[in-house]
Amino acid sequence: MSGASTHKTHAHPLRVVRSFLDAAMSDDGGRPSQAAGSPDSQHDSKRFLDPPLDSSKPSKLSRSITEGEAGAEEAKDRVEEGREIMSQNSRIQRYLVAVEYIGTRFSGSQKQPTCRTVVGVLEEAFHKFVGQPVSIFCSSRTDAGVHALSNVCHVDVERISKRKPGEVLPPHEPGVVRRAVNHFLQKNEGDIMVIDVRCVPANFHARFKALERTYHYRILYGPEPLSTFDKERAWHVSEELDIPAMKKACSILVGCHDFSSFRAAGCQANSPIRTLDELNVTEVFPSLYFPSISERTEMESLNGHHSNTSELESFTECSNVSHMSVGKCNAETGQEFGQRSRHRCYVITARARSFLYHQVRLMVGALKSVGTGDLTFSDVERILNAKTITAASPMAPACGLYLGNVKYDFHEFS
């Protein structure tokens, strides 16, 4: 719905503000939105029928608005305008909700009419909890197959008595919301969970208030196939990686740059300029790590045969993973029959206020190519300066990408 439309005399305040918020939302990565007239756009138009109070202003903004750019400031103004309407209805409580999920069985985070999505599943669980439909707004949109250690969204809930319909009750405590929604989520596939909930003011927007986003990309190196437990949880690379070369290449990309070469075709962000605050490669212990008998003996000898947690953590942090027989065959390590060799695990971390569509996966693809020797340090610099996606290396698969954290400043509301 674009432009002004004939507005109703008595538009419901909550529906009006939802229209404002929907107008302000755009993909964190500048992802292409559904075309006008598509099932999604028709669905949205049915949900948000009421126009803004001032019919001289458009009821929706372009989907190309992206956070951190000039268009976002205009969007924030409209959110503030909508907030004034919402503030008149003090019965509504806005909750900030952090969720973790395995992206394998989700068709991305954003709601789609015929696919299972993170927002769709969350809205269904909240509906069962509060007894009425709600709208979920995510801080960051993830693609199909991408996981989240902590994605954040907000939702407005009006607590109405189920015994006496029409009677408005005080808002639920955050802990009650977390337990109740998780109860319904676990009756689903069990691949998503609410990990934290807090009450926030009506003008706190999960997307626009985000100060920083951190993504992690997990790579497992080793000649053998991935363990069943690691499938679709990491990118398996069978070639040995030159980690120092990858770290050197990271330094080229850190800072404020035109990331057009790391911007997927169809990205609708107004500008390709982004500031990358951090990009590094770290070798870590593989997940589901269970020490072998020799490793247990070594740990116990360091701890004096006592379970000293602090010393054990120190040992874990200081030990070189490669010395723990990771990625070597059984004959070399003397492993018993039935024990599989471990892969070496590398995590690439990218941190910034916002990212372009597929920027992280494109950067990881380039870094992996540097690690295998297909690209050099100079090649990465050349790709960055080319400012065209055609110069980029193949993009890393979605299975290894994790949204790790979304940072906010809560002090302004304390």
Give the pLDDT score at 276. Answer: 98
Give the pLDDT score at 213. Answer: 97
Query: What mean pLDDT comes out for the span 82-98?
Result: 70
8 Å CB contact between 110 and 104: no
Distance of CA 413 to the CA centre of its chain: 24
pTM for the full predicted model: 0.74
For residue 362, the one-letter residue type is: L
Distance of CA 105 to the CA centre of its chain: 15
Q: Looking at the predicted structure, is the pLDDT value of residue 271 above 50?
A: yes
Q: Looking at the predicted structure, is the pLDDT value of residue 380 above 70?
A: yes
Q: Positive or negative, the Cα torsion across 194, 197, 202, 207?
A: negative
* Portion of the chain with pLDDT greater than 70, in percent: 70
Report residue 14 as tokens.
């909550």
Give the pLDDT score at 299. Answer: 79
Task: Give the model confidence (pLDDT) of 19-61 as tens digits.
Answer: 444 433 334 445 544 433 333 434 443 333 333 333 333 333 3
What's the CA gap between 245 and 247, in Å, rounded? 5
Give the pLDDT score at 333. Answer: 55
SS3 per residue for the chain: CCCCCCCCCCCCHHHHHHHHHHHHCCCCCCCCCCCCCCHHHHHHHHHCCCCCCCCCCCCCCCCCCCCCCHHHHHHHHHHHHHHHHHHCCCCEEEEEEEEEECHHHCCCCCCCCCCCCHHHHHHHHHHHHHCCCCCEEECCCCCCCCEEEEEEEEEEEECECCCCCCCECCCCCHHHHHHHHHHHHHCCCCCEEEEEEEEECCCCCCCCCCCEEEEEEEEEECCCCCCCCCCCCCEEECCCCCHHHHHHHHHHHCEEEECHHHCCCCCCCCCCEEEEEEEEEEEECCCCCCCCHHHHHHHHHHCCCCCCHHHHHHHHHHCCHHHHCCCCCHHHHCCCCCCCCCCEEEEEEEEECCCCCCHHHHHHHHHHHHHHCCCCHHHHHHHHHHCCHHHCCCCCCHHHEEEEEEECCCHHHC
Residue 394 pLDDT level (bands cut at 50, 70, 90): very high
Please name every residue paired with 259 in a beta bridge, in sequence order, or none if there are none.
Answer: none
Residue 75 pLDDT level (bands cut at 50, 70, 90): low
Report residue 362 as tokens.
């494109």
Nearest to 299 by CA among 286, 288, 314: 314
What's the CA gap between 230 and 224, in Å, rounded? 12
User: Which is more confidently placed, 87 or 376?
Assistant: 376
What's the CA gap between 40 and 112, in Å, rounded? 7
Q: Positive or negative, the Cα torsion across 379, 383, 386, 392?
A: positive
In angstroms, the Cα distances linking 381 to 252, 271, 332, 369, 384 are 6, 20, 40, 13, 5
Give the pLDDT score at 26. Answer: 37
Active-site pick, 22, 143, 156, 191: 143
Q: Looking at the predicted structure, is the pLDDT value of residue 130 above 70?
A: yes
Query: What mean pLDDT comes out for the span 155-172?
Result: 90
User: Which is more confidently placed, 294 or 181?
Assistant: 181
Query: What mean pLDDT comes out for the span 280-307?
Result: 79
Catalytic residue at 242?
no
Give the pLDDT score at 57. Answer: 38
